[in-house]
Amino acid sequence: MRFRMSRPVPEGVKSYRVTRDRAGRWHIAFAYIPAPIPGPGNGATVGVDRGVAVAAATSAGDLLRVPGLTPGEARRLGLLRRRLSRAAPGGGRRARLRAAIARLMARQVDRRRNWVEQTSTTLARSFV
């Protein structure tokens, strides 16, 4: 298995966990408590409403939308799902199609998770 270190391992790590997701990717997570994010100290506050049509709306007037698949990726996902519905159960082609669908869905999940992390960090750094 190839290993790519995406960031340095912080000091004080005592344990780790190795996992494999549905898309077949391996991940290693180190148990570490990061330092808290300091607030700007400007006394500004914001309210956040979660919604259906818009992922979140702030009291400052910002509408926050979650990124998804690109139109090309969405078209490919539809094509793969149609091909999966026609594939014979238990076949090798069905397994390959399920893996391809899992990779596309994992990409969407990664984008959403990244958006949540970036948005929450931005809000924490901008208000109180």
Q: What is the pLDDT of residues 72-127, one digit of tens each?
A: 999 999 999 999 999 999 999 999 999 999 999 999 999 999 999 999 888 888 88
Beta bridge partner(s), residue 20: 26
Residue 48 is assigned to a structural domain of this protein: yes
Distance CA 127, CA 105 (A): 33
Number of domains in the chain: 1
On the question of pLDDT at 24 being above 90, the answer is: no
Q: Does residue 27 lie within any of the structural domains?
A: yes
Q: What are the distances in angstroms from CA 7 to CA 2, 73, 91, 94?
A: 16, 29, 39, 36
pTM exceeds cut of 0.75: yes
Residue 121 lies in domain = 16-126
CB-based burial label for 105 (10 Å; 0-12, 13-18, 19+)? middle
Q: Is residue 49 part of a domain?
A: yes
Report yes or no on 116 lying in a domain: yes
Within-domain flag for 110? yes
